[in-house]
Structures are given as C-alpha cells and as structure tokens.
Amino acid sequence: MAGETVITIIGNLTADPELRTTRNGGAVANFSIAATPRTFDKQSNQWIDGDALFLRCSAWRDLATHCAQSLAKGMRVIAQGRLQQRSYQAQDGSNRTVIELQVDEIGPSLKYATAQVQKVQSGGYQGGNANGGFGGNGYQQPQQAQQQSQGADPWAAPTGTPDSFGGFGGTPEPEF
C-alpha cells in the first residue's frame, strides 16, 4: 500500500513466538526481534556491540501459525514488514504509543545456521533444520520426500502429471 514504511530487520528472537486467537478466530503470533549493531574498533582490535534495538512484531493468519511452529527463542531471523504506530490507554490511565512491525515475510538467517523448508498444504512454507531449530524435512512433495530418502536428487525436476494449475500438486499461490 502507498505511504507505508516497509523495513527489513535482521536479529534474534528474544522469546518463543506467542500464538493467540482473536475473537473472530484469526491467528496472531507476537514476538520481539533484538538487533545489535557491531563495529570494529581498530585501536583495541576487537568488535564492540552498540545499543540493541528491540522491535515488537506481529504476524497474522497462516504466517502466525507457521512462526509458532518454526521459530524459537534465540534464532537469528530476517523479517520484512510494515511499521505500524498504535496508541492505547494503559491500566494506570496514561496514554501510550508503540511502534510495531506487522510481519509480511520472515525466515531463518543462514549466516550461522542451515535450514530446510517444507511446503504446507495452504500454499505457505514451513521452515526446518535437522538440529530441531525449525522442524520439517525440506521443501518437497510427499513422493519427492520418499525419493530423496532413497538417495534421489532433491533438485531434479518433479515426475508425474502437472495439475490444472500448471504445478505438481498443491494449491496455486494467491495473486495480489
């Protein structure tokens, strides 16, 4: 949408995502990302941490569920979304304003880790790594998972008949 502030943040989750359900039955996951800048001090010949930025984030609908299933405290993530300003009245009666990131996209940073991705039936993706970090066993259709476990090339072209959407199973990606 026009006029919205879109940002990308790279940092670590400060806690496990907290999944909740709204009155309307929609899912929302809330979590914080901490990003700490580092600079190299040539005089001391060492890295120095700057002031940490803690940014509250929320993800909605399927993305919320995927975050709760895939992400955990301490994981390094890359998140992109829209900054939102929200005002509310605190319990003590004072007016407060917060800035939050409405997450549109999020995933693991592969700078210091590895991950595998598994497509879910709703058309979204769920992350995974072998060390219990993100769950799942790779982006693949069920028949491809069996072929891969038998040593087949996971990047080979899929076999079978394309579905009516031109792909090999699943639902089409939504167009916006």
Q: Which residues share a beta bridge with 87?
A: 97
Local confidence band at 118 (pLDDT 50, 70, 90 cut-offs) = confident
pTM for this structure? 0.65
Length of the chain: 176
Q: Which residues share a beta bridge with 118?
A: 126
- pLDDT score of 119 more than 90: no
Q: What is the DSSP secondary-structure string of the chain?
A: -TT--EEEEEEEESS--EEEE-TTS-EEEEEEEEE--EEEETTTTEEEE---EEEEEEEEHHHHHHHHHH--TT-EEEEEEEEEEEEEE-TTS-EEEEEEEEEEEEEE--SS---EEEE-TTS-EEEE-TTSSS----S--HHHHHHHHTT--TTSPP-S---TTSSSSS-PPPP-
- The predicted model gives 35-48 an average pLDDT of 94
pLDDT for residue 123:
53
More confident residue, 163 or 96: 96
d(C-alpha 60, C-alpha 49), whole Å: 32
- Asked if 125 and 119 count as a contact pair (C-beta separation under 8 A), the reply is yes
- Asked if 98 and 47 count as a contact pair (C-beta separation under 8 A), the reply is no
Identity of the residue numbered 69? Q
pLDDT for residue 122:
60
